[in-house]
Amino acid sequence: MYATIMTEAKSTTGAMPERAEPAELIRRVAERRDKAALSALFVQFAPRIKSMMLRLGVDAAHAEDLAQEAMLSVWRKAHFYSPDKGAASTWIFTIARNLRIDAARRQSNRPYVDLEGIEVESEAPHGHALLEQSQIVARVSKALEVLPEEQREVVRLSFIKEMSQSEIAQRVGIPLGTVKSRLRLAYDRLRPLLEDLH
Amino acid sequence: MTIAFHPDIATLMAFSAGTLEEPYTVVVATHLAMCEACREQVKRTDLIGGALLASEPEAEMVPGALDRLLAAADSDDVAQPIIVPDTGVPAPIAHYLPRGLDGVRWRWSGPGVAVADLPSSSAAKGRLMLLRVEAGRKVPEHGHGGQELTLILQGAYRDRFGRFGAGDIADHDEDVEHQPIAEPGEDCICLVAVDAKLSFRSRLVRTLQPLFGL
């Protein structure tokens, strides 16, 4: 069973070069300032962050910088991460996302207190058994794949193209209300899985 | 705190994706600070982003990129938690309000209604403001030009959707019309994000209203 899922993870996400789970690597960074672990995280995530940024129309140099900054944030903030807050890839995604938003705002030369730093503590119960990261990723990716095309499209445009809902409406040529209802339908389909995962 | 009204799931997905405009992002973040259920919800919508990141193809990093990171890691300190001073308002808006809601400089905006703009970066699309409605006062019936997000910070109001108290959020589309009435007792103070251009239009409409006897 486990082996099957691992195979699926590889086929849908590309082989991860490092065997250690990202959550474990982050823990090693937090506890031991372990640079080998940081390097392994870099190999797993920096090229993917850069790719995601390039998709957003960020130029290559800036995409490279954002990937660097995100990995440096992982180094500096590793002790804020705990596996019961969610998958490591999710945490790193939110770091990269917030850096991109901050960078866009900094271009305006106004001081800005980032929202990420003032995240509130969750009262969610601690310590329940978490799935292996690769399984989480594989399952969410698979769930996204089986969404009806029109729902998958609005999710991808939101998360990967980072288009606002009104931009999606324009691009796809549907009313704003339809964008929202497709997102709601997509979420309804994903929800049982997502609830299962955290 | 019992919260009855939450953001639309499409709004929370946009928050996770990072595609909400800045004023709306601040309103959602402030609601999250007050609402455990939505914090859990956002964990789920963030998972979508994490899964998509993990399944991204790998772009080629420039040569020496890892060395550059390791060198930066040498000189870099561990991040400290940000201490937000407690001024009685939720953390995401604390830096706008160093003296809390008592220190707000209100601007008259109609009988019993006052507003105070909160600064956004110049790149921001839309407008972030505080709105204060006197206890017992009726807000003139209005529609919304674009998306309007209203988070109640203090007091409460009622409209055809129900009673909105502290922590509740009204996530209204453009085609919604309503006439909120502040409950007696305490002034109702809300954090509001609106589309800048459209709020300008509605201000124009407000100016013209007396002329046309509307």
Range of A190's domain? 146-198
The CATH number given to whatever domain includes residue B13 is 2.60.120.10
Helix, coil or strand: residue A80: helix
Best of B19, B93, B144, B148 to disrupt the A interface (most A CBs within 10 Å) is B19
Please tell me the least confidently modeled range out of A110-114, A192-196, B83-87.
Answer: A110-114
Integer Cα distance of B105 and B119 in angstroms: 13
Same domain, A50 and A109: yes
Higher-pLDDT residue of A87, A8: A87
**Can you give the pTM of this predicted structure?**
0.79
Which whole-number Å values give the CA distances from B190 to A122, B89, B99, B193, in the listed order?
A: 24, 12, 17, 10
Can you tell me the distance from the alpha carbon of B157 to that of B164, in angstroms, rounded to the nearest whole number? 5
**Least confident stretch, A91-95, B87-91, B122-126:** B122-126
Residue A106 half-sphere exposure toward CB, CA atoms < 13 A: 8
Same domain, A176 and A96: no
Task: Tell me the chain B residues in contact with residue A118 when contact means C-beta distances shorter than 8 Å.
Answer: 82, 84, 91-92, 94
CA distance A87 to A173: 35
Residues A112 and A158 in one domain: no
Cα distance between residue B112 and residue B117, in whole Å: 17
Per the CB < 8 A criterion, the answer to whether A107 and A74 are in contact is: no
Q: Would you say residue A180 has pLDDT above 70?
A: yes
Nearest to A86 among B46, B61, B65 (CB): B46
CATH number of the domain at A191, please: 1.10.10.10
Residues 6+ away with beta carbon under 8 Å from B76: A72, A75, A76
A162, A79: one domain: no
Q: Is the pLDDT assigned to residue A120 strictly greater than 50? A: no
Q: How many domains does chain A have?
A: 2
pLDDT: which is higher, A166 or A8: A166
Mean pLDDT of chain B: 84
Is A130 near chain B, with CB under 8 Å?
Answer: no
Which of A100, A127, A154 delimits the end of a domain?
A127
Which structural domain range is residue B126 located in?
1-214
The token pair at A62 is 């800036």
Taken in order B47, B52, B53, B54, the sign of the CA dihedral is positive
Which of A97-101, B4-8, B81-85 has the weakest average pLDDT?
B81-85
Q: Angle at Cα B44 formed by Cα B42 and Cα B47, nearest 5°? A: 110
3-state secondary structure of B188: strand
Give the HSE-up count for residue B51: Cα atoms under 13 Å, Cβ half-sphere: 26
Cβ distance A115 to A98 under 8 Å? yes
Share of chain A above pLDDT 70, in %: 74
- In order of A137, A178, B109, B139, the CA distances from B133 in angstroms are 47, 33, 10, 8
Mean pLDDT of A87-105: 86
User: Residue B77 burial (CB < 10 Å; 0-12/13-18/19+)?
Assistant: exposed
- Is residue A106 located within the same domain as residue A173? no
In a domain, A138, yes or no: no
Question: Which residues of A are less than 8 Å from B33 in CB distance?
Answer: 120
pLDDT at A138 over 70: yes
Helix, strand or coil, per DSSP, at residue B177: strand
Q: Looking at the complex, does the CB of residue B71 fall below 8 Å from at least one CB of chain A?
A: no
Q: Is the pLDDT of residue A74 over 80?
A: yes
Pull the structure tokens for residue A26.
């982050």
Q: Is the pLDDT of residue B126 over 60?
A: yes
The reply to whether A103 falls in a domain is: yes
Same domain, A97 and A157: no
Q: What is the pLDDT of residue B208?
A: 47
User: Which CATH number belongs to the domain containing residue A41 in this structure?
Assistant: 1.10.1740.10
H-helix or E-strand spanning residue B191? strand B188-194
Chain B residue numbers with beta carbons less than 8 Å from the beta carbon of A158 are: 13-14, 17, 19
Helix (H) or strand (E) holding A149: helix A149-159
Burial of A39-76, coded b for 16+ CB within 10 Å and e otherwise, reads bbbbebbbbbbbbbbbbeebeeeebbbbbbbbbbbbbb
- A2 by Cβ neighbours in 10 Å (0-12 / 13-18 / 19+) ranks as exposed
A110 and A183 co-located in one domain: no
B13 exposure class (CB count in 10 Å sphere: 0-12, 13-18, 19+)? buried
Residue-level pLDDT at A197: 67
Averaged pLDDT, A161-178:
87
Structure-model confidence comparison of residues A84 and A157, the more confident one: A157
Rounded to whole angstroms, the Cα distance separating B189 from B193 reads 13
Q: Does A108 share its domain with A150?
A: no
> How far A3 CA sits from the closest chain B CA (Å)?
19
- Does A136 reside within a domain? no
Q: A81 at the B interface (CB within 8 A)?
A: no
Least confident of A38-47, A100-109, B49-58, B77-86: A100-109
**B173-210: pLDDT as tens digits:** 766 777 889 999 999 999 999 875 444 345 555 554 44
Task: Determine the 3-state secondary structure of B213 from DSSP.
Answer: coil
pLDDT tens profile B45-81: 998 888 888 888 999 999 999 999 999 998 767 887 7
Q: Are B145 and B195 in contact (CB under 8 A)?
A: yes
What residues are paired with B156 via a beta bridge?
A: B165
Average pLDDT over residues A16-22: 66
Q: How many domains does chain B have?
A: 1
Q: What is the ipTM of this complex?
A: 0.76
Distance from CA of B164 to the nearest CA of A (A): 23
Give the DSSP letter string of B107-168.
EE-STTEEEEEE---TT--SEEEEEEE-TTPBPPPEE-SS-EEEEEEESEEEETTEEEETT-
- Cα(B157)–Cα(B139) distance, integer angstroms: 10
The reported pLDDT for the residue numbered B92 is 86
